[in-house]
Amino acid sequence: MKRQIAALCFALAVAGFCVAQTSTAISASKTVALKCGNLFDGRGDSLRRNVVIVVEDGKIKDVGATAPSGVDVIDLSRSTCLPGLMDTHTHILLQGDITAADYDEQLLKESPEYRTILATVNARRALEYGFTSIRDVETEGAGYADVDVKKAINNGIIPGPRMQAATRAMDVTGAYPLQGYAPNVAVPHGVQLVDGTDNARQAVREQISHGADWIKVYSDRSYWVRDDGVLDDIPTFTMDELRAIVDEAHRERRKVASHAMALNGVHNSVEAGVDSIEHGNYISDADLKTMAARGIFYVPTIYVGEYVAQGRAATGAPVWVKMISIHEDTFRRAMHAGVKIAFGTDAGGFDWKINPAKEFTSMVKFGMTPAQAIRAATSSAAELLGTQKELGTVEAGKLADIVAVPGDPLADVSVMEKVEFVMKGGVVYKRP
């Protein structure tokens, strides 16, 4: 019963209707002071002690040492406050797919409407985990449902993070599930099939007209490890097709995210001028150099690789286990090369009941300091999303997206999985 009250309160929090004794809702228009034991501001390398963040009208008014008199104070003195976290690679329309069968089942047996209902739950989960912004990089066969979820969040109908939507990803004929069915059986596809440059431009125009903030492409498939240790692949698009997609997207002031896990997919994407490389399990030194020079982001999604590896190896794809050490080597070379790295998890590729903040521990295991990993999920992610003027750091004038974790995340980054306070745009969605 207590859970039900909390849930109802949570649901009403958006509208500001929650009753006082169980309140988790603070109206965005009221002035409130957050008394933080520590602050990680999203930019630096260390914590500031005993900081008071004053929030008014949904924005950060001041970051100082004392609370103005007469305002509501939220006591976070045993916690570390941070900017709202950003996951730049999610799939809210997916519920985890270790095997091809898991994926096929969702597309064949769940209607887009049912999947959208599940997505609203995932959006709430993302927010409760502390992710106040997400870039959702395609609906996997659920059409433009991500745009509707985003609309429902923005209209205050359901709780959820700020969303950038990629709608339907693009891939070429024969490259993406569902596959392996009899040729005479019509099955749904997880992507929009695009063949030829005219088709590519048309698909970009179509998706943007239906609300796409980003264009997502699958640039490679079918991975194997060569004798020299390089992860090889089959590139999907021709260079002409990929260039047409990027050119059309950029002409319409949208960015392109490219799923590229291996040698040729990454190389072609970088040459075509995409804005982010997703996964990037193997990237050559030459391409890393180009990425650093052109400011192309790397969104490594480490945790999901570990998560799916064993399951996929068990179904006859041992390459997924080998990819983990290749990925680590690439990640370390990318850091060394000065490539911009943004936090992204592929949540939905694994079950949303698992906290995507596990990615912080994976990034630290692969060589980042906790501060670097958290910057990847705050100020760097904001740069990738183009929201750095309003979000990504805790400073006066920015939107009040603030989270808090118990203890010191720079000493133990796994506390990022224990977000206990969530504020988005000055509205409190979760508190200790």
Which residues here bind Zn ion, judged by CB under 5 A? Answer: 346
Give the three-state DSSP class for 285. helix
Q: Which residues contact 262 (CB under 8 A, 6 or more apart)?
A: 220, 223, 231, 232, 233, 281, 282
* Closest CB 218 distance from Zn ion, rounded Å: 9
Q: Which is nearer to Zn ion, 51 or 94 (CB)?
A: 94
- Residue (of 88, 1, 70) closest to 31 by Cα position: 70
Q: Which two tokens stand for residue 405?
A: 């974790």
C-alpha distance from residue 263 to each of 70, 94, 226 (Å): 60, 27, 11
Residue 188 or 406: the one with the smaller Cβ distance to Zn ion is 188
Joined tokens for residue 250: 């950029």
Measured from the CB atom, the residue of 41 and 359 that comes closer to Zn ion is 359
- CB-CB contact of 240 with 197 (8 Å): yes
Which residue's beta carbon is nearest to the bound Zn ion? 346
Least distance (Å) between residue 408 CB and Zn ion: 31
Rounded to whole angstroms, the Cα distance separating 194 from 273 reads 18
> Considering the complex, what minimum distance in angstroms separates the CB of residue 52 from Zn ion?
39
Token pair listed for 410:
């720079």
Dihedrals phi, psi of 113, to nearest 5 degrees: -65, -45
Q: 3-class SS at 38? A: strand
Residue 385 Cα to chain centre, angstroms: 10
Q: Which is nearer to Zn ion, 328 or 346 (CB)?
A: 346
Rounded to a whole number of angstroms, the minimum distance from the CB of residue 140 to Zn ion is: 8
Are 201 and 195 in contact, with CB atoms under 8 Å apart?
Answer: no
* Cα gap 92→23, rounded to integer Å: 28
Which single residue is written with the structure tokens 């079918």? 222
Nearest approach in angstroms of CB 169 to Zn ion is: 9
346 vs 359, beta carbon nearer Zn ion: 346
Structure tokens at 357: 């903040």
Cα Rg of the chain (Å, integer)? 21
Q: Which is nearer to Zn ion, 220 or 346 (CB)?
A: 346
Residue with the two structure tokens 């390089």: 230
Min separation Cβ 49 and Zn ion, Å = 39
Judged by beta carbon, residue 104 or residue 346, the one nearer Zn ion is: 346
Phi/psi of residue 134, nearest 5 degrees: -135, 150
What's the closest the beta carbon of residue 342 comes to Zn ion, in angstroms?
14
Smallest separation, CB 77 to Zn ion (Å): 38
The CB-of-94 to Zn ion minimum distance in angstroms stands at 8
Nearer to Zn ion, 267 or 279 (CB): 279
Judge contact between 220 and 234, C-beta under 8 A: yes
Q: Token pair for residue 4?
A: 């039900």
CA 125 – CA 127 distance, rounded (Å): 5
Give the separation between CA 312 and CA 330, rounded to whole angstroms: 21
**Minimum CB separation from Zn ion for residue 347, in Å?**
9
Nearer to Zn ion, 40 or 237 (CB): 237
Of 346 and 401, nearer to Zn ion (C-beta) is: 346
